[in-house]
Amino acid sequence: MAEDLIGYGKLVENALRGVVKQVMQGVVEEGLPGDHHFYITFRTDHPAVDIAPSLRARYPGEMTIVLQHQFWDLTVDDDGFSVSLTFSGQPQTLRIGYEAIKLFADPGVEFGLQFTVPEPDEGEESGPGEPAETPAEQAAENAEEGGAEVVTLDRFRKK
């Protein structure tokens, strides 16, 4: 097979990130319709992500947020979005660049997109922290503290 010199895979991913942008912009303008809600998994150590150091330390590799009932100040631009959520009773504003998103799912209609996000270079510091927790450990810890819901997405994967 010939080498793909055009880069079709990257072009398709960029187009699908545009879908995420359009969906998020629709939520800004109209709110979440019907049973729609979003699970968004992103790399916390990606340069296009701006989150509190305490969140980065707690979720040193990736994090999943849920946009459903309790979020506010959602803003969308060409590079990403910003949203405020509560973690352990404390409001936090997260800035997430589209290029840092690994998964966007709307379980209300069984829709999902998965993206390739390169791991940080081995020489790069991914932020302070201990060994990464699994998504299930993250969810359990947040549930105990009554904070924002962090969920595992295994239930959406076909087995």
Give the pLDDT confidence of 76-119 residue by residue, as tens digits: 999 999 999 998 889 999 999 999 999 999 998 999 999 988 88
Q: Where are the alpha helices (DSSP H) in the chain?
A: 8-30, 53-58, 135-145
Tokens of 78: 């060409």
Contact by Cβ (8 Å): 94, 147: no
Greatest extent of the chain over all pairs of C-alpha atoms, in Å: 54
CA dihedral 63, 68, 69, 73 (to 10 degrees): 70
Where along the chain do its domains lie? Answer: 8-143
pTM, 2 dp:
0.74
Give the pLDDT confidence of 1-11 residue by residue, as tens digits: 889 889 999 99
Q: Does domain 8-143 have CATH number 1.10.10.60?
A: no
Instruction: Using pLDDT thresholds of 50, 70 and 90, give the confidence band for residue 138.
Output: very low
Give the pLDDT confidence of 10-50 residue by residue, as tens digits: 999 999 999 999 999 999 999 888 889 999 999 999 999 99
